[in-house]
């Protein structure tokens, strides 16, 4: 009995000295793990941008190279005044002549006509002269660029008892270079081929129709001279 009492006394003293054990709450973790929603799709990386960065506008320049063009020579007032004009080639003997109507651009129409003894020899034609090129103060030069007959050469027809024969135009035989003489040209400076044909019209500035011995007579009309054929036309619309 004494032993049991001693045991309880010792136990009571131990409980009094040590005290009752304290309950301690568990410490909260310093950081929580991230939570992921169930079944949520994984976030895809963003696609790279396709928008190109704006570039600064190019500066306009006015220093672009330009094609160099040759300057055309200034038009000569005298050459512009030559055409349009009418010219005639004739001898004054017989009923024949060749007439030219030349337009401002050098194109022309013509008629050669020769009649006698119930026969008419004729030719309607057209063509083109080049633009006049100045040779000297009173002379210009053109080239015969084209000429065409409107009838077939050698063709013959009879109408009202008159026989018509189409031939080539007279006055432009083998024509290539045509010289143009302006009013004021002196007779002594002109070829005899032109002067001989021009005498039909007495185109000089002498009133008595007599040419001077010195050849200083001046041309009062325009003249055309077929160099190859030595044939001269004189303007008739003065």
Label each residue of 14-75 as H, E or C: HHHHHCCCCCCCCCCCCCCCCCCCCCCCCCCCCCCCCCCCCCCCCCCCCCCCCCCCCCCCCC
Do 194 and 228 contact (CB within 8 A), yes or no?
no
pLDDT of 200 reads: 87
Do 141 and 135 contact (CB within 8 A), yes or no?
yes
Report the half-sphere exposure of 100 (CA within 13 A, side-chain side). Answer: 29
pTM score over 0.75: no
pLDDT of 138 reads: 97
Report the half-sphere exposure of 83 (CA within 13 A, side-chain side). Answer: 18
d(CA 84, CA 237): 10
pLDDT of 238 reads: 62
List the alpha helices (DSSP H) in 68-204.
77-82, 192-198
pLDDT of 30 reads: 45
Under DSSP, is residue 174 helix (H, G, I), strand (E, B) or coil?
Answer: coil
CA 210 to centroid of chain Cα atoms: 53
The pLDDT tens digits of the residues spanning 94-132 come to 789 999 999 999 999 999 999 988 999 999 999 999 999
pLDDT of 95 reads: 84
pLDDT of 105 reads: 95
In this structure, the dihedral spanned by the alpha carbons of residues 127, 133, 139 and 143, taken in order and rounded to 10 degrees, is -30
pLDDT of 58 reads: 55
pLDDT of 69 reads: 57
Low-confidence stretches of the chain (pLDDT beneath 70): 1-78, 208-214, 238
CB atoms closer than 10 angstroms to residue 114: 17
3-to-6, 8, 11, 12, 13 alpha-carbon distances in Å: 5, 9, 13, 14, 16
Do 204 and 220 contact (CB within 8 A), yes or no?
yes
């Amino acid at each position: 009995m004494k032993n049991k009492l001693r045991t309880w006394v010792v136990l009571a003293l131990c409980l009094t000295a040590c005290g009752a054990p304290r309950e301690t709450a568990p410490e909260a973790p310093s950081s929580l793990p991230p939570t992921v929603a169930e079944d949520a799709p994984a976030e895809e990386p963003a696609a790279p941008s396709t928008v190109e960065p704006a570039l600064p506008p190019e500066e306009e320049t006015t220093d672009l190279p330009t094609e160099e063009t040759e300057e055309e020579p200034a038009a000569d007032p005298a050459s512009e005044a030559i055409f349009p004009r009418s010219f005639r080639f004739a001898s004054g003997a017989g009923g024949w002549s060749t007439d030219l109507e030349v337009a401002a651009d050098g194109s022309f129409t013509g008629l050669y006509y020769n009649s006698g003894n119930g026969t008419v020899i004729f030719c309607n034609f057209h063509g083109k002269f080049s633009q006049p090129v100045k040779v000297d103060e009173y002379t210009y030069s053109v080239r015969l660029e084209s000429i065409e007959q409107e009838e077939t050469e050698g063709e013959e027809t009879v109408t009202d008892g008159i026989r018509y024969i189409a031939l080539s135009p007279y006055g432009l035989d083998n024509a290539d270079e045509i010289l143009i003489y302006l009013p004021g040209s002196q007779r002594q400076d002109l070829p005899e081929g032109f002067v001989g044909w021009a005498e039909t019209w007495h185109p000089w500035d002498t009133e008595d129709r007599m040419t001077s011995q010195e050849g200083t007579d001046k041309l009062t009309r325009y003249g055309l001279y077929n160099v190859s054929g030595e044939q001269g036309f004189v303007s008739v619309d003065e």
